[in-house]
Amino acid sequence: MVLQKKKMTKERFLKAFKRDKYLYLLFLPILIWYIIFCYLPMGGLVIAFQEFSPGLGLFKSKFVGFKWFIQFFGSPFAYRLVRNTVLISLYSLVFGFPVPILFAVCVTELRNTAIRKTVQTVSYLPHFISTVVVVGMIKNFLSMNDGIINNFIALLGGERINFLMDPKYFRTIYVASGVWQSFGYSSIIYIAAIVGIDPSLYESAKIDGITKFKEVWYITVPMIAPTITILFIMQLGRIMSVGFEKVFLLYSPGVYETADVISTYVYRKGIESSEYGFSTAVGLFNSVINFLFVFGANQVCHKLTNTSLW
């Protein structure tokens, strides 16, 4: 009986395999790619628990347990890095999140189609400019001697400010330029949600003689509230993942106090100083926290909407 069942599963499997052989053939290279480039590095995370030396390799390096984690959390950097990472995300969320919503409401109220299209198209543009160029513009605009911002301050009779070397400006620069880069593109989804609202709601409101302000407040905002909620939760889930590139390109040793985030620290320790074990441990700590946040956010969204990314 059991034997027969076993035989049947085997037969079924063979039959399925024969039927799907071309699908397997297609998928095989991708499977291999995923194993090599995504799953092997996950295996490589054991480095976080080793005194890793590239000469000895993964299997012969000495196992040191949680040494690197203890070292990291015992250092003054742990607090600073987590604080900077969280604060940069949090400020980006607080200042960056409402702008696309406000912009979407305004854009959809523009009655002149040509103006509306132009404003919209231009607003997406910064999203497609590379981080290097964006940071290049920021640095040159803020430059002490010949940047436009300081030229303007000087024109008004003010004192030139060394924005890029003063830690107290870093987050402002990062967040403000981040809003500039993303508000237009982020607004697309809200615009679609607003356009999708049933026009009869507005028509009946008009008959009741409601003002435009009230219309936005009592119809538009409640109707796009689900979209807002979902996007807010997803952003909260990314609170521990600050994009490496922009911080890396924008910061300098003088502003590490407010600018250095976990990913840039891992880069310096791992790639520049070759402290593989230690930096892998720090990176792993970040990955795990990230995973928990994103997973949690996804679960909450799932509960709210019965859809999920998973």
Partner 1 sequence: MILSKKKNDIIGSFSDGAFYALVYVFALVAFFITLYPFVYVLAVSMSGGEAINKGIVWLYPVDISFEGYKQVMFNNKSIWLAYGNTIYYTVVGTVFNIVATVIAAYPLSRTTFSGRRFFNFLIAFVMYFHGGLIPTYLLITNIGLYNSRWVMIIPGLVTSYNVMVCRSAFSAIPDEIMESASIDGANDIHILSRIAIKLITPTLAVITLYYAVSHWNNFFTALLYISDSNLHPLQVLLRRVLIQASSELMDNSTGLEEKLIVSLQVRYVTIVVATLPILAIYPFLQKYFVKGVMLGAVKG
Q: Which of residues 263-282 bind partner 1 (CB under 8 A)?
A: 263, 266-267, 270-271, 276, 279-280
Q: Does residue 56 touch partner 1 according to CB under 8 A?
A: no
Strand 62-63 and strand 50-51: pairing? Answer: antiparallel
Tell me the window of 67-75, 79-87, 127-135, 167-175 that interacts with partner 1 (CB under 8 A). 127-135
79 interacts with partner 1 by CB under 8 A: no
Count of alpha carbons within 13 Å of 164, Cβ hemisphere only?
19
Output the smallest distance, CB 14 to partner 1, in A: 11
**Distance, CA of 138 to CA of 249 (rounded, Å):** 10
Question: What is the size of the binding site for partner 1 (CB under 8 A)?
Answer: 99
Query: Binding of partner 1 at residue 96 (CB under 8 A)?
Result: no
Q: Which is nearer to partner 1, 223 or 230 (CB)?
A: 230
196 is an interface residue for partner 1 by CB under 8 A: no
The whole-angstrom separation of Cα 261 and Cα 43 is 25
Distance between CA atoms of 176 and 75, rounded to whole angstroms? Answer: 31
Q: Does 41 bind partner 1 (CB under 8 A)?
A: yes
- Would you count residue 146 as binding partner 1 (CB under 8 A)? yes
DSSP track, 154-194? HHTT-----GGG-HHHHHHHHHHHHHHHHHHHHHHHHHHHH
Is residue 174 a contact point for partner 1 (CB under 8 A)?
A: no
What is the chain's alpha carbon radius of gyration, rounded to the nearest angstrom?
Answer: 26
Reduce the DSSP state of residue 62 to 3 states and report it.
Answer: strand
Is 110 an interacting residue with respect to partner 1 (CB under 8 A)? yes
Q: Which is nearer to partner 1, 1 or 162 (CB)?
A: 162
Binding part of the chain for partner 1, among 60-68, 75-83, 129-137, 253-261 by CB under 8 A, reads 129-137
**CB of 49 within 8 A of CB of 200?**
no
Contact 88, 247 (CB under 8 A): yes
Residue from 9, 53, 130, 204 touching partner 1 (CB under 8 A): that is 130
Residues 197-256 within binding reach of partner 1 (CB under 8 A): 209-213, 216, 230, 244-245, 249
**Choices 60-68, 80-88, 166-174, 185-193 (CB under 8 A): range interacting with partner 1:** 185-193
Judged by DSSP in three states, 50 sits in strand
Contact pick of 2, 25, 156, 207 for partner 1 (by CB under 8 A): 25
Going by the DSSP 8-state scheme, the letter that residue 196 receives in this structure is: T
Report residue 17 as tokens.
């395999």
Asked if 59 touches partner 1 (CB under 8 A), the answer is no
